[in-house]
Structure 1
């Protein structure tokens, strides 16, 4: 199987900034004013490269997505996505990866 790169589909709308559970202002991605993670996708590497491929496993274009710091290869036995984003995982990407394991 090819290496997986986790990518974030970001919500760049100004409404991404809200209140945290503690009542503090901030975005869901942690940085003040930073875009929130709308959905977490997985993408294969480009053929013959370690660079991000052009499409996610669900078929979305990766051009406007941001590579996540989470690398599944560094977390053996864990999910392909970071635990804090489990509620934002693309179900189509997840299904493709389940079929490959």
Structure 2
């Protein structure tokens, strides 16, 4: 699983009027977990697209790193319910 970066598609609220919105430093909920190939020349930055074809520009790299051990998931186990089914299928095929 080398060369795979786990990225979070965040559930960012729409911009609020009059400065209301989430507080600076507040944690934004994860909407979906995706897999992306590493950008050329790096092992820590995602490339421009996930395996399902979404743009990674607004996504955040997860702190999780796939272990590469047979039978271990590529995604954080606590986020299993948020895994993108298309990315998961692409990871199964590789």
| TM-score normalised per structure 1 | 0.73
Q: Aligned Cα RMSD in Å?
A: 2.0
CA deviations over 1:62-88 (Å, ceiling 9, x no partner): 000000000003x63420000110000
The runs of at least 4 aligned residues of structure 1 exceeding 6 Å deviation read none
Q: Larger deviation: 39-48 or 75-84? A: 75-84
Using CA pairs below 8 Å that are at least 6 residues apart, which structure has the higher relative contact order?
Answer: 2
Q: After TM superposition, give the deviation of residue 94 of structure 1 in Å.
A: 0.3
In structure 1, runs of 5+ residues without a counterpart are: 15-31
Q: How many residues of Structure 1 are paired with residues of Structure 2 in the alignment?
A: 82
Q: After TM superposition, give the deviation of residue 12 of structure 1 in Å.
A: 1.2
Provide the C-alpha distance between the structure 2 equivalents of 1:2 and 1:41, rounded to a whole number of angstroms.
Answer: 15
In structure 2, runs of 5+ residues without a counterpart are: 15-24
| TM-score normalised per structure 2 | 0.78
Question: Which residue of structure 1 aligns with residue 19 of structure 2?
Answer: none
Question: Which residue of structure 2 aligns with residue 59 of structure 1?
Answer: 53
Provide the C-alpha distance between the structure 1 equivalents of 2:26 and 2:57, rounded to a whole number of angstroms.
Answer: 22
Q: Which structure has greater strand proportion?
A: 1
